[in-house]
Amino acid sequence: MKYCEKPILGCKQFSAIILAVVLMAALSTSGSALAKEQVVSRESSQLLGKLSNALAEVAEIARPVVVNISTTSTISEEENPLGDMFNDPFFRHFFGDQGNPGKKRKHKSSALGSGVIVSPDGYILTNDHVVKGADEIKVILFDKREFKGKVVGTDPRTDLAVIKINAKDLPTIKIGDSSKLKTGDIVLAIGNPFGLNQTITMGIVSAVGRSNIGLADFEDFIQTDAPINPGNSGGALVNSDGELVGINTAIYSTSGGYMGIGFSIPSDMAKSVMDSIIKYGKVIRGWMGVSIQNLTPELAKSLGFKETEGALIAGVEGGSPADKAGLKQGDLIVDMNGKKVVDSTSLRNMVAASAPGTKIDIKIIREGKEQTISMTLGEYKEKKVIKKAEYENALKDVTVEELNPSIRERLNLPENLNGVVITGVSADSPAQGLLQANDVIQEVNRHVIQNAQDFEQIVSKIGEHDTVLLLIYREGGSIYLTIKP
């Protein structure tokens, strides 16, 4: 439709009249608004004022305990006389990873993070990745005082660390019960994003119990939409009571900046790790001695379970607390000390948070019947890389490592896959060209391999001239290989 096709007045005259009417109406409305100014209701103003005062009070309590941590590290790099040619994908496609043929050079690298004061005498809780590899650690307090920090202990498996400064009468914060957090709770994130000291952001708890993210071996993250950015790592997540409920650790981002998803380590886990580091200089964890996996609908149907949640035992280590207590492969653990076991991650976290020597009661489902089994937890020992250089046989100079959650995540391995992962094969090993890094050895000469101890016991008995039969898992499937000396 077109307007002003046959106007009584000219188009210009008509437009002028319309414009005048509109202006008169606007002036009338404006005059009315000026005559009667709109205001926020008293009730709304009081409500918002109370909220504002409450948030300011929480911030005032929490701000003094959050510190700025700056680190300096020495990084060694190979100088490359050919520039970036060796890093070019086209070059690598034809010539492989040749490395940089130049000499090494060293340079200093700086990084920023945050930390939380947990004791008046200078203990500070932060992330392992904030202080990892640092030559120097500088801590700047809320009142601008600067101190040299020293690492007391770290725990890469939870990405936590404790450092110490030589100071007294420092402000501290009450550590809250993170298990009481609910989705929707208001939280404040305090830290030093991009070096901007004492930045406070607000949000809610988006979710609790987040795991399988790939940030650490033991994961039970609080997810929040409180804006977290680089530099916030190690800072405080605080609830509405002004209590520490989490240590800010990471963000989900495709740009490197805030995208609405941040992760914090729960204060319950952080306190357990912190107490152990301060007392022992390392983390002491409980240990059952079982290999566990999640109960999927397919497994539940195949094994005849009516339950939909729990941790399924895939293997029991000989001589372990679980073995002595009578746990068996195929048992489904559904409860530990009255706490529901949802999946393998929840059980792993419960056991790890318990001290060695702790007596526990676990409920299992075996052949359709519920049973309660008591046991005393042992101490978890870190599995170390084992190199078979001392054995003169077909597996000489093959380096293996225990499977752990981090390796499983990195290699995308099935939960029910057991064995040891190959980390290296030396050039003069008989297995060179047949075995490769990231292969998982499941069997050696028809003997099932559950862990590095099994591997060591079996390989040590292989003769110098014996051919070895291996079952390995590689790139999504299992294959048999024979290795001749």
Are residues 212 and 183 part of one domain? yes
Averaged pLDDT for residues 77-82: 52
- Domain final residue, candidates 330, 361, 379: 379
The active-site residue, picked from 114, 211, 233, 429, is: 233
Both 124 and 263 in a single domain? yes
At which of 266, 283, 300 does a domain end? 283
Most confident of 184-198, 409-423, 437-451: 437-451
Q: What is the 3-state secondary structure (H, E, C) of the chain?
A: CCCCCCCCCCHHHHHHHHHHHHHHHHHHHHHHHHHCCCCCCHHHHHHHHHHHHHHHHHHHHHHHHEEEEEEEEEEEEECCCCCCHHHCHHHHHHHCCCCCCCCEEEEEEEEEEEEEECCCCCEEEECHHHHCCCCEEEEECCCCCEEECEEEEEECCCCEEEEECCCCCCCCCCECCHHHCCCCCEEEEEECHHHCCCEEEEEEEEEEEECCCCCCCCCCEEEECCCCCCCCCCCEEECCCCCEEEEEEEECCCCCCCCCCEEEEEHHHHHHHHHHHHHHCCCCCEECCEEEEECCHHHHHHHCCCCCCCEEEEEECCCCHHHHHCCCCCCEEEEECCEECCCHHHHHHHHHCCCCCCEEEEEEEECCEEEEEEEECEECCCCCCEECCCCCCCCCCEEEEECCHHHHHHHCCCCCCCCEEEEEECCCCCCECCECCCCEEEEECCEECCCHHHHHHHHCCCCCCCCEEEEEEECCEEEEEEECC
- Separation CA 258–CA 121 (nearest Å): 34
Last residue of a domain, one of 379, 406, 441: 379
Find the catalytic residue in 70, 114, 128, 129.
Answer: 129
What integer is the mean pLDDT of 91-102?
Answer: 47
| Same domain as 304, residue 439 | no
Predicted confidence (pLDDT) at residue 147 exceeds the cutoff of 90: yes
Least confident range of 8-17, 107-116, 250-259, 356-365: 8-17
Same domain, 66 and 188: yes
Is 159 catalytic? The answer is yes
Mean pLDDT value of segment 78-96: 48
Domain housing 188: 57-97+104-283
Claim to verify: residue 128 and residue 146 sit in the same structural domain: yes
- For the chain, the straight-line distance linking the first and the last C-alpha, in angstroms and rounded, comes to 91
Q: pLDDT value at position 26?
A: 54
| pLDDT over threshold 50, residue 7 | no
CB 481 within 8 A of CB 435: yes
Q: What is the mean pLDDT of residues 282-302?
A: 86
Residue 196: which pLDDT band, with cuts at 50, 70 and 90?
Answer: confident
Least confident of 7-21, 96-110, 394-408: 7-21
Taking 90 as the threshold, does the pLDDT of residue 216 lie above it?
no
Residues 347 and 248 in one domain: no
46 in a structural domain: no
Does residue 474 sit in the same domain as residue 350? Answer: no
pLDDT for 20 equals 52
| pLDDT tier, 406 (very low <50, low <70, confident <90, very high otherwise) | low
The predicted-structure confidence for 27-37, as pLDDT tens digits, reads as follows 555 555 555 67
Convert the pLDDT of each residue in 107-126 to its tens digit.
Answer: 677 788 899 999 999 999 99
Statement: residue 94 has pLDDT above 80: no
Band of the pLDDT at 413, cuts 50, 70, 90?
confident
Instruction: Please tell me whether residues 234 and 297 are part of one structural domain.
Output: no
Q: How confident is the model at residue 324 (pLDDT cuts 50, 70, 90)?
A: very high
pLDDT of residue 107: 65
Q: Quick: pLDDT tens for 271-289.
A: 989 999 998 888 888 999 8
Same domain, 92 and 166: yes
* Residue of 159, 268, 331, 343 marked active site: 159
Task: Mark whether 261 and 338 lie in a shared domain.
Answer: no
Q: Residue 9: inside a domain, yes or no?
A: no
Q: For position 192, what pLDDT does the model report?
A: 84
Instruction: Identify whether residues 314 and 435 lie together within a single domain.
Output: no
Instruction: Output the pLDDT for position 387.
Output: 47
| 50 belongs to a structural domain | no
With 90 as the cut, is the pLDDT of residue 141 above it? yes
Is there a single domain that holds both residue 188 and residue 263?
yes
Higher pLDDT, 209 or 5: 209
Residue 5 is predicted with a pLDDT of 39
18 is a domain residue: no
Band (160; pLDDT cuts 50, 70, 90):
very high
Per-residue confidence (pLDDT) for residue 412, from 0 to 100: 81
Residue 332's pLDDT is 94
Q: Report whether pLDDT(10) > 60.
A: no
Active site residue 233: yes
**Quick check: is 28 in a domain?**
no
Per-residue model confidence as pLDDT tens digits over 329-388: 889 999 999 999 988 888 988 898 888 999 999 999 998 899 999 999 998 876 555 544
Sign of CA dihedral 182, 295, 308, 326: negative
Residue 396, pLDDT score: 85
Residue in this structure with the two tokens 């700047």, named with its chain if needed: 140
- Domain count across the chain: 3
- Does 311 reside within a domain? yes
Give the CATH number, domain containing residue 371: 2.30.42.10
Residue 258 pLDDT > 80: no
Say if 45 falls within a structural domain: no
- Looking at every residue in the chain, the average pLDDT score rounds to 81
| Residue 346 counted as domain residue | yes
